[in-house]
Amino acid sequence: MLRAARTSGSELGKKVAGIMDRGDLVSDEIVIALIEEQLDNNPNAPGFIFDGFPRTIAQAEALDASLLKRGQKVDSVIRLCVDDNVLLGRIEKRFVDEGRKDDNPESFKIRLENYNKQTAPLLPYYTKQGKLTEVDGLADIETVSESIATVLDIHSGVNEPKRVSLWKRIFGTS
């Protein structure tokens, strides 16, 4: 969503681009506005999967309030657990392979500091609500995918045939 806003060419998108290029977090106000726009534009969606959101307690509380107004709630939060050094290696590889400006060691260091300061407090926030599941992000792609699908199944009541269909729509593979 942020990358789409970034490439949109809009004033908001230009702000998002500058913030992301520095490795900083996009403000809660901007992110919440983008999320609410998605919720409003998709009123009949059976649900949403937010990747990398919320990143702060304030965002989590704003999301909860926004969903409550719509008669919805956060069902599940999945944390992919990966060692910091592995993440740095992946980002360096992605920078070389894809040339993304925000994928460099300096931006990673800032992102990691921001994560520890602002996002890590979400872990107890969602743990207390019984919504947090941790998945080993170092496992092979199939195992990670299956672990995520299992969490989604538990919280959505989706049966296997529907999950495969949903999985294909989201990830383009079964």
Just give the CATH number of 2-130.
Answer: 3.40.50.300
* Rounded distance between C-alpha atoms, residue 44 and residue 110, angstroms: 38
Annotate 35-58 with b (16+ C-beta within 10 A) or e (fewer). beeebeeeeeeeeeeeeebbbbee
> What is the per-residue pLDDT across 115-170, written as a single tens digit (0 to 9) for each?
999 999 999 999 999 999 999 999 998 899 889 988 888 766 665 545 454 545 55
Phi first, then psi: give them for residue 110, nearest 5 degrees: -65, -45
| pLDDT at site 157 | 65
* Rounded distance between C-alpha atoms, residue 33 and residue 69, angstroms: 15
| pLDDT at site 64 | 95
> What is the per-residue pLDDT across 30-88, written as a single tens digit (0 to 9) for each?
888 888 888 888 888 878 888 888 988 999 999 999 999 988 899 999 999 999 889 88
| pLDDT at site 159 | 56
- Mean pLDDT within 4-22: 85
| pLDDT at site 161 | 47
For the chain, residues classed under CATH 3.40.50.300 are: 2-130
Closest CA to 2 of 108, 24, 131, 122: 24
| pLDDT at site 130 | 93
Phi first, then psi: give them for residue 55, nearest 5 degrees: -110, -10
| pLDDT at site 174 | 47
